A and B are shown apart, each in its own frame.
Chain A
Amino acid sequence: MSTMNIVQAIASALGHAMETDPRVVILGEDVGKFGGVFRATLGLHERFGDSRVIDTPLSESGIIGTAIGMALYGLRPVAEIQFADFVYPGFDQIVSELAKYRYRSGGHFTAPVVVRMPYGGGIRGGLYHSQSPEAYFAHTPGLNVVVPSTPHDAKGLLLAALACDDPTIILEPKRIYRAARGEVPDGGYTVPIGKAAVVRPGDDVTVLAYGAMLHTALEAAELLEAEHEVDAEVIDVRTLVPYDLETLAESVSRTGRLVVAHEAPKTCGYGAELVAALSEACFWRLEAPIERVTGLDTPFPHTLEHYYLPDKHRIADAALRTLEIP
Chain B
Amino acid sequence: MSSATVAWVAALDRRLLRLAERGITPPHTAAQGFEGALVAMGEAISPSDWVFWGRTICAPALTRGAEAEVLLAHAFDGLELGELAARRIVTCTLGPATRVPQAAGLAWAAREDGIAALVELGEDALSDGDVHVGLNFAAVLDSPLVVVVRSTGRRPVVERGEGYGVAALSASAAYDEALPALTEAMGRARIQRQPQLVELRRTNPSSAAAIAAHDDAVEQALRAAEARVAARHPTTLTEPHGATGRRA
B175 CB within 8 Å of chain A: no
Which A residues, 67 to 115, have Cβ-Cβ distances below 8 Å to chain B? 67-75, 77, 92-93, 96-97, 100, 104-109
Are the CB atoms of B137 and A66 closer together than 8 Å? yes
CA A104 – CA B92 in complex, angstroms? 10
Closest Cβ–Cβ distance, residue B73 to chain A (whole Å): 13
Which B residues touch A62, using CB under 8 A? 101, 133-134, 136-137
Closest Cβ–Cβ distance, residue B66 to chain A (whole Å): 13
Are the CB atoms of A105 and B108 closer together than 8 Å? no
Determine, out of A52-60, A265-273, A312-320, the stretch whose residues face the partner at the interface: A52-60
Are the CB atoms of B108 and A65 closer together than 8 Å? no
Closest Cβ–Cβ distance, residue A87 to chain B (whole Å): 15
Identity of the chain B residue whose Cβ is nearest the Cβ of A97 in the assembled complex: B98
A200-220 vs B, CB cutoff 8 Å, 1 = contact: the mask equals 000000000000000000000
Which B residues touch A77, using CB under 8 A? 105
Which B residues touch A190, using CB under 8 A? none
Are the CB atoms of A69 and B105 closer together than 8 Å? yes
Which B residues, 125 to 153, have Cβ-Cβ distances below 8 Å to chain A? 129-130, 133-134, 136-137, 140-141
Are the CB atoms of A69 and B85 closer together than 8 Å? no
Are the CB atoms of A65 and B106 closer together than 8 Å? no
Which B residues touch A64, using CB under 8 A? 101
Are the CB atoms of A104 and B141 closer together than 8 Å? no
Dominant secondary structure of chain B at its interface with chain A: helix
Determine, out of B5-13, B76-84, B165-173, the stretch whose residues face the partner at the interface: B76-84
Are the CB atoms of A92 and B109 closer together than 8 Å? no
Identity of the chain B residue whose Cβ is nearest the Cβ of A68 in the assembled complex: B102
A61 CB within 8 Å of chain B: yes
Cβ-neighbour of B106 out of A54, A69, A97 (below 8 A): A69
B93-109 vs A, CB cutoff 8 Å, 1 = contact: the mask equals 11100101111111111
Of the candidates A59, A72, A74, A100, the one having the most CB atoms from chain B within 10 angstroms of its own CB is A72
CA A73 – CA B49 in complex, angstroms? 11
Cβ-neighbour of B108 out of A66, A74, A92, A107 (below 8 A): A66
Of the candidates B86, B90, B133, B134, the one having the most CB atoms from chain A within 10 angstroms of its own CB is B133
Are the CB atoms of A97 and B93 closer together than 8 Å? yes
Are the CB atoms of B78 and A65 closer together than 8 Å? no
Which B residues, 49 to 93, have Cβ-Cβ distances below 8 Å to chain A? 50, 78-79, 81-83, 85-86, 90-91, 93
CA A65 – CA B135 in complex, angstroms? 12
CA A73 – CA B72 in complex, angstroms? 27
CA A68 – CA B90 in complex, angstroms? 12
Are the CB atoms of A56 and B81 closer together than 8 Å? no
The answer to whether residues A96 and B105 also contact, given A65-B133, A106-B82 and a CB cut-off of 8 A, is: no
Cβ-neighbour of A70 out of B95, B105, B130 (below 8 A): B105
B110 CB within 8 Å of chain A: yes
Are the CB atoms of A108 and B109 closer together than 8 Å? no
Which A residues, 209 to 257, have Cβ-Cβ distances below 8 Å to chain B? none
Which A residues touch B90, using CB under 8 A? 72, 105, 109
CA A59 – CA B178 in complex, angstroms? 33
Cβ-neighbour of B79 out of A74, A75, A106 (below 8 A): A106
Identity of the chain B residue whose Cβ is nearest the Cβ of A61 in the assembled complex: B133
Of the candidates A54, A66, A68, the one having the most CB atoms from chain B within 10 angstroms of its own CB is A66
Identity of the chain B residue whose Cβ is nearest the Cβ of A96 in the assembled complex: B94
Are the CB atoms of B79 and A66 closer together than 8 Å? no
The answer to whether residues A104 and B107 also contact, given A62-B137, A68-B102 and a CB cut-off of 8 A, is: no
15 A-B residue pairs with Cβ-Cβ distance under 8 Å, sorted by A, are A57-B137, A57-B140, A61-B133, A62-B137, A64-B101, A65-B101, A66-B105, A72-B106, A73-B109, A93-B102, A97-B95, A97-B102, A105-B82, A106-B81, A106-B82
Beyond known contacts A59-B136, A104-B91: 12 more, CB 8 A cutoff: A59-B133, A65-B100, A65-B137, A66-B102, A69-B103, A69-B107, A70-B109, A72-B105, A73-B109, A93-B102, A96-B95, A108-B82
